[in-house]
A and B are shown apart, each in its own frame.
Chain A
Amino acid sequence: MIARERPAELVFRALLRVYPAGFRADYEREMTQIFRDRRREEHGGGSGFWIEVLWDVARSAAAMHADAARAPRNVNNQPRKGTMRRMAILAVLVGLIEVLNASLEGRAGRMNGGDAYSFIGVALGVCAAILLIVAGVALFRRGWSAAGWARVAAIGCAALVVSIRVVQPWMSIFATLLGIGFPIALLLFLYLTKRDGSSMRTTA
Chain B
Amino acid sequence: MSRERNAQKLAEDHLPLSPATFQVLMALVDDERHGYSIMREATERSDGSVRLGPGTLYGTLKRLLESGLVEEGGERVDPAMGDERRRYYRITDLGMAVARAEARRLDRVVRAARRRKLIGPEPA
Binding site for B on A (CB under 8 A): 19, 23, 26-27, 30-31, 33-35, 37-38, 52-53, 55-57, 59-61, 63-64, 67
Given A23-B62, A60-B59, A64-B59, CB of A30 within 8 Å of CB of B53: no
- Interface residue tally of chain B, by bracket? 10 to 19
Bound CA–CA A12/B51 (angstroms)? 18
What is the chain A residue whose CB lies nearest that of B20?
A60
CB contacts (< 8 Å) of B61 on chain A: these are 27
* Residue in contact with B56 in the complex, picked from A23, A35, A59, A67, CB distance below 8 Å: A59
Known: A33-B86, A56-B56. 18 other contacts (CB 8 A): A19-B55, A23-B62, A26-B62, A27-B62, A30-B34, A30-B35, A30-B54, A31-B55, A34-B39, A34-B57, A38-B54, A53-B53, A56-B53, A56-B55, A60-B53, A61-B55, A63-B59, A67-B63
Show 21 A/B contacts (Cβ-Cβ < 8 Å), sorted by A. A19-B55, A23-B59, A27-B61, A30-B58, A31-B35, A31-B55, A33-B35, A33-B36, A33-B86, A38-B39, A52-B51, A52-B53, A53-B53, A55-B53, A56-B56, A57-B53, A57-B55, A59-B55, A60-B55, A64-B59, A67-B59
Q: How many A-B residue pairs have CB under 8 A?
A: 58
Residues of chain B contacted by A19 (CB below 8 angstroms): 55
Q: Cα distance A67–B59 when bound, in Å?
A: 10
- Find the B residue at minimum CB distance from A29: B87
For the complex, what is the distance from the CA of A56 to the CA of B21, rounded to whole Å?
Answer: 15
Q: Name the prevailing secondary structure of the B interface residues.
A: helix
Asked if B30 is at the interface (CB within 8 A of a chain A CB), the reply is no
A38: shortest Cβ distance to chain B, in Å? 8
Chain B 16-66 interface residues, beta-carbon cutoff 8 Å to A: 34-36, 39, 51, 53-59, 61-63
Give me the interface of B with A, judged by CB distance under 8 Å. 34-36, 39, 51, 53-59, 61-63, 81, 84, 86-87
Give Cα distance in the complex from A56 to B55, angstroms. 6
Give CA–CA (A63, B51) in the complex, Å.
Answer: 17
Q: Is the interface of A mostly helix, strand, loop or mixed?
A: helix
The 9 residue pairs across chains A and B that have the minimum distance between CB atoms: A56-B53, A60-B55, A31-B54, A27-B58, A34-B54, A60-B59, A56-B55, A37-B36, A60-B56
A35: B residues at CB distance < 8 A: 54
Report chain B residues within 8 Å CB of A56.
53-56
